[in-house]
Every structure is written in C-alpha cells, then in structure tokens.
Copies of this chain bind each other. A is one copy, B any other.
Amino acid sequence: MSAESPSTMRALPAAGRRTKPGSQTALRARNQQRIQDALLAAGPQTQAELSRATGLSSATVSNIVRHMSDSGLVKTEPTTSSGRRALSVRLNDTGAVAAGIDIGRRHVRVVLATLGYRIIGEDSISLPAGHSADEGMDAAAELFDSVLAAADVGRDRVLGAGVGIPGPIDRRSGTVVRGAILPEWVGINMREDLAVRLRVPVHIDNDANLGALAQVTWGPHGGCENLIFVKVATGIGAGLVINGSLFYGHVGITGEIGHATISDQGLICRCGNRGCLETVASTATMIDLLSRAAAEPVTTTDIIRQAAAGDPATLRVVDDAGMAVGRAVAGIANALNPEVIVVGGSLTELGDAFLNPIERGLLRHAVPLIGETTTVTMSSLGDRAEALGAAALVLAMADAVL
C-alpha cells in the first residue's frame, strides 16, 4: 500500500485524547512494562527475582504474570530456587509481538511482527504536509490501535514499539535535533511523548538507521557485517550496520551523508552549511528543478513516471542527482569499506536510471579497490523498510534474551 495513496487517508484523532496517566489501567500497564523490561533485559526469571528486579510486591508480580500468561505474552513453568518451589517466567515467542512504526513527513506506517519474524498486521495512512508533532504522534497511536484490533492482538502482548522518524536523534536526551526533515519536531522528546500515547515501551530511532537494520533483518542481506543504507527522499541520510550492529557513535548522529559538501559555492542547506548533498540530490531539489520548466509543480510520482517515459530533462536531473549521491557514498565507502550499500527512499522505482549514476559516482570518487569490492543495490523492501526495521529493533532485543 502506498503511503501517498489518498484512499488510505484518515481523519487525525484529537490530540492526546487517549492519555489517562493516573488510572488503574495505566498503573497496571506501567507495572506490566516493568516486568517485560526485566524479562527483556535479563531473560527467564523466577517471580521472586522479578519482584526484586522491579521493586513490585510479590502479590503484584504474581497477578500480572498470571494476566500475561493468560494473554500468551509469557510462559511459566515450575522450578526450584534455593531449594524451594518457584515459578520461572519467560517471554513467549509465539504470543509476544513487536510493533514497528514509521512516522514520515507525509505518512505513518505500522507493522506487527511475532518474535518468529512473521508479519501479522500492517497498515499505513497519509499525513497532511506540515503536520505538528502532536498530530503525527496521535495519528501513529490511532493507527497502532487499529492495526492491533485488525490483527486481534491485545496491547498486553506487545513487547514494545520501535519508532522511526526522519531526523537525527540526540541519544543523550532522546530528543529530535536540528536538521530534521520535520522542523516542527525539533527539541521534542518523542520517546516519552509516544510512550504515553502508545502505552507500550517505545524505542525511537532515525529512519535511515531502521532502513539499514531492515536490510540485514528482513532483506536479502542477512548476515552482512558491514552495510550502509542510504535513504534518498525529501532529505538524504544513511544508516550504518558495523560489525553486525547498528552504529550510533558518540551522541547518536551517524551517517549524515546528506550534509557532505558537494559544491563549495552551492545553495544554503537547512543545516546551515552550503552545497550539501541534500541541496543537489534530494527529491525536494529534483522537484524544484523540474517544476521550473513545467506548467504545474511536479511530484515524486511524476519524476518516476517521466523517467520511465524517457523524458530528457527528468533523466538528466536524475542522473546528476545520482552522480552526486555516488560521490557522497564514495566518501563514506572510503571511510568504512562496507560489503554492501543499499539505496532506499522514494526513488527506488527509478531502478537503473538512478542506480547507474550512483555506481558511476562511487567508482569515480572511491579508492579503486573499494569501488571494485563494494556492491551497490536498490532496496527491495520499498516503503516498508523503515517500519520493518523499527519492529526489528524490538525483535533484536527479544532475541538477545530468549
């Protein structure tokens, strides 16, 4: 389902209407989350150990574990601890699910996956341009509810939700930082705000990071140790899988190839520098260039259609953008020498018309042996990559303890 398709457009819910932080239900949900978190962090445990780990009374732990067991989220089995009979609790790999949520500039997508990496629910809706962070988060919460209902999955079976957003996140504070495609969102602590709305544990990440994780989790590059996912859309960013894991660097802002300087005296970029890759190769720039010569503004869909029809101006713009992306990709390949570079974003349907100039740019600007040994390919996950990666973020945590 296309994220831009009007048929999936829905009304936005009223801001914050599902936030009842003081209720009994909310209290139980928070306590259940503490138990889930403890099981995710340290694997199977007895109820007594869960009580110590969470600070909850043994009666509360016992109640919640019974509830979680009834809903299939955990399995329990008798054991002995210090010579006494006890109940060991572990996450249930058939009952528990992970949610992946992708919040874009114009869309929200939600997927639900079992711990066996099976997708059991999925939907997407469009968002109006320039929506506020509150509107975006409320829309995500409403879609999450409807996907849960359609899949007949109770919220208490959800281990957590990975959420991707198109902007850099300062991992020290969990806030969106300047340079995001959504300037209205800068400074907002999405982790906290979304946890209140979704009422499940939330793990925020940058969309390009999640695209990279999706490639090694759901895509054809499973087992690839060093992979770079380059997302070309309204903005341009990269996610880095290094030694098999997502790499976050010092404060969490990695793979910012959209701000590689391509042209010293180029246009001013929203980051404050000039001549950045985004000023010459983002879809926003392509749309701007092509709209000047068109009767009315073109869209990304028009670019894909016109390129397929062989329109010379469109092909030239796509080719120039691809060469610039390839040049920036060469810079990051020279630094990191990855096995594979996967190109994703809203232009993957262009196929070779976009991939070929990227490869030419890479070969032109990379150290020869690096250019020769790096595979460049289009993402086969389409516009699902980020949401699938968001679910994979939670699944990877579950994998570590199951």
By a beta-carbon cutoff of 8 Å, the part of chain A in contact with chain B is 168, 170, 177-179, 225-226, 238, 240, 242-243, 247-257, 259-261, 271-273, 327, 330-332, 334-339, 364-370, 373-374
Show 25 A/B contacts (Cβ-Cβ < 8 Å), sorted by A: A168-B369, A170-B369, A177-B369, A226-B250, A242-B243, A242-B247, A243-B243, A247-B336, A249-B338, A250-B337, A250-B338, A250-B373, A251-B370, A253-B367, A253-B369, A253-B370, A254-B337, A256-B334, A257-B334, A260-B331, A261-B327, A273-B365, A331-B332, A335-B335, A336-B336
Instruction: Please provide the 5 A-B residue pairs with the shortest distance between their CB atoms, ordered closest to farther.
Output: A249-B337, A256-B334, A250-B339, A256-B367, A254-B337
The reply to whether A334 and B374 contact each other, CB–CB distance below 8 Å, is no
Tell me which residues across on chain B come within 8 A of A178, comparing CB atoms. Answer: 368-369
Least Cβ–Cβ distance between A269 and chain B, in angstroms: 10
The reply to whether B367 and A337 contact each other, CB–CB distance below 8 Å, is no
Closest chain B residue to A252, Cβ basis = B337
Provide the bound-state CA to CA distance between A366 and B256, in Å: 9
Tell me which residues across on chain B come within 8 A of A330, comparing CB atoms. Answer: 261
Tell me which residues across on chain B come within 8 A of A271, comparing CB atoms. Answer: 367-368
The reply to whether A335 and B332 contact each other, CB–CB distance below 8 Å, is yes
Least Cβ–Cβ distance between A176 and chain B, in angstroms: 11
Provide the bound-state CA to CA distance between A335 and B339, in Å: 16
The reply to whether A226 and B253 contact each other, CB–CB distance below 8 Å, is no
Closest chain B residue to A370, Cβ basis = B253
Provide the bound-state CA to CA distance between A255 and B253, in Å: 18
Tell me which residues across on chain B come within 8 A of A256, comparing CB atoms. Answer: 334-335, 367, 370
Least Cβ–Cβ distance between A226 and chain B, in angstroms: 6
Tell me which residues across on chain B come within 8 A of A242, comparing CB atoms. Answer: 242-243, 247
Q: A364-B273, A374-B250 are in contact. Are A335 and B255 (CB under 8 A)?
A: yes
**Assembly stoichiometry (copies):** 2
Tell me which residues across on chain B come within 8 A of A369, comparing CB atoms. Answer: 168, 170, 177-179, 251, 253
The reply to whether B336 and A254 contact each other, CB–CB distance below 8 Å, is yes
Closest chain B residue to A256, Cβ basis = B334
Least Cβ–Cβ distance between A363 and chain B, in angstroms: 10
Tell me which residues across on chain B come within 8 A of A254, comparing CB atoms. Answer: 335-337
Tell me which residues across on chain B come within 8 A of A240, comparing CB atoms. Answer: 335-336
Closest chain B residue to A361, Cβ basis = B261
Provide the bound-state CA to CA distance between A66 and B252, in Å: 52
Tell me which residues across on chain B come within 8 A of A168, comparing CB atoms. Answer: 367, 369
Provide the bound-state CA to CA distance between A225 and B364, in Å: 32
Least Cβ–Cβ distance between A254 and chain B, in angstroms: 5
Provide the bound-state CA to CA distance between A23 and B79, in Å: 63
The reply to whether B367 and A238 contact each other, CB–CB distance below 8 Å, is no
Tell me which residues across on chain B come within 8 A of A368, comparing CB atoms. Answer: 178-179, 271-272
Closest chain B residue to A339, Cβ basis = B250
Tell me which residues across on chain B come within 8 A of A339, comparing CB atoms. Answer: 250
Interface centre among A243, A248, A272, A334 (most CB of B within 10 A): A334
The reply to whether B226 and A249 contact each other, CB–CB distance below 8 Å, is yes
The reply to whether B179 and A367 contact each other, CB–CB distance below 8 Å, is yes
Closest chain B residue to A177, Cβ basis = B369
Least Cβ–Cβ distance between A208 and chain B, in angstroms: 12
Closest chain B residue to A247, Cβ basis = B242
Least Cβ–Cβ distance between A381 and chain B, in angstroms: 22
Interface centre among A178, A226, A336, A339 (most CB of B within 10 A): A336
Closest chain B residue to A224, Cβ basis = B250
